[in-house]
Amino acid sequence: MTFNVEATCPGTAARAATVTTDHGVIATPIFMPVGTAGTVKGVHMSELRDDIKAQIILGNTYHLYLRPGMGVIEAAGGLHKFNGWERPILTDSGGFQVFSLASNRKLTEEGAHFRSHIDGSKHLFTPENVVDIQRTIGSDIMMALDECAPGTSDRAYTRRSLDLTKRWLERGWKHYRATEPRYGHYQSYFPIVQGCTYPDLRREAADHATQLGADGYAIGGLAVGEPAEVMYDMIEVVNEVLPADRPRYLMGVGTPVNILEAIDRGVDMMDCVMPTRNGRNGLLFTPDGTMNMRNAKWANDFSPLQEDGPSVVDRVYSKAYVRHLFVANELLGMQIASIHNLAFYLWLVGEARKHIIAGDFPVWKRGMVERLGRRL
C-alpha cells in the first residue's frame, strides 16, 4: 500500500492525499460506508459504486466470523468475491463488537473470550487469530485487536487496558509479518491507538504504534461517551505523534461536523453507521442542515429531496413522497434515505478535499459547520 500527500492547507493540519491498494486508489479525506456483515444495509453494490461513489467500504471480523463463517467466505474466494465489491475493503478486528455486543465477555492475556450474541456459543479472539480471520476475509486493510475502553474510564483502568492493547499489538504485528495473504493481493495491518482521554497515554500509545512502521494507523476509543471537544483534543494529541507520511484513520466518527473537525486536525479516513442508521429512522443530512422526514411539514412539499444533490434519489423523489414512505413504514423510504445520506457524506469529504487543494478549507469549513447545525 502507498500513501501520497498531494496538498496541505495553511492554518490547519488538513491534507489531501491518495491511498493506493491492489483493489484501487482512494482519494482522501474519505468517508467509508459501514458494511458490517458484508453489506451496507439496504444499499446495492451498484448504488454504492455508481450513485454514492464510495471508494472503500468496511466489513467486520466479529460479525463475518460468526455469520456466514470463514468456511463460506473462504470457499467464495474472499469477501470481495462473496459480496461483489471490487474496490478496497477495510475490516475492523472485532474487538469493539466483542466489548459492546457479546455477553459474558472476559479479557485475559491470551485474548478476548466471549459468547456469540446470535446463539450464545463460546469463542476466543486472540491477536493472532484475528489476523488469520482477516486474511481469510481478504480485506485490503486489517485492524489490530485492541480493547476499546469507555470514554469515562478512570486512569487506572485505562492504564491496564492500554498495556494489554500494546502487548496484543506486538503479538498481532509479529503474526501479521509471519503470514501471507490468501488471495494474491496485498493486505495492510493498522495498529489502533487507544488511551481514552488521557493525553500522556495517547502519546505513549501513538509512539508505541509508530515504532512498528506500519502502512497506516487508526485512532480508536473516541466518540464513546466523551465530550466532542475532548475528542478533538485527543485527535490533535495523537496526530502530533503519528507520522505525516502514513494515513490516519479515525474509527467510528461521526456527525458531518465531527468529520470536518477531524479533517481539520489531520485525519484522512473515517467511518460511521450514522448516515445509514439515522437514514433508516427518517433523518436526512443536507448541506443546509437535517430534515426529519416524519415531520408533517413535508406532507405537501413536492420539491425534490435536494435540488442539486449528489445522488439520483435526491432529484427523483420528493420530500412528500419520502415522508409518505416513512409514515407508511415502507422499506423503500429507508433505502432512499440511506442512499441520500451516504451520497451526502461522500460529497462532503469530496468538497473538503477540493477546498484543501484550493487552500481555502478553513473559510469553507466555518461556513459549512454553521449550515450543518440547522434543523430544517
Q: Give catalytic residues, as residue numbers.
A: 92, 271
Other Cβ atoms less than 10 A from the Cβ of 327: the count is: 15
CB 88 within 8 A of CB 55: yes
Instruction: Calculate the alpha carbon distances from 275 to 157, 194, 337, 361 in Å.
Output: 32, 25, 8, 23
124: helix, coil or strand?
strand
Q: ∠27-242-141 over CA atoms, to 5°?
A: 50
Of 375, 160, 162, the C-alpha closest to 284 is 375
CA distance 374 to 259: 16
Q: How far is residue 192's CA from residue 225's CA, in Å, rounded to a whole number?
A: 18
Residue with cell 488469520: 132
* 3-class state of residue 365 by DSSP: helix
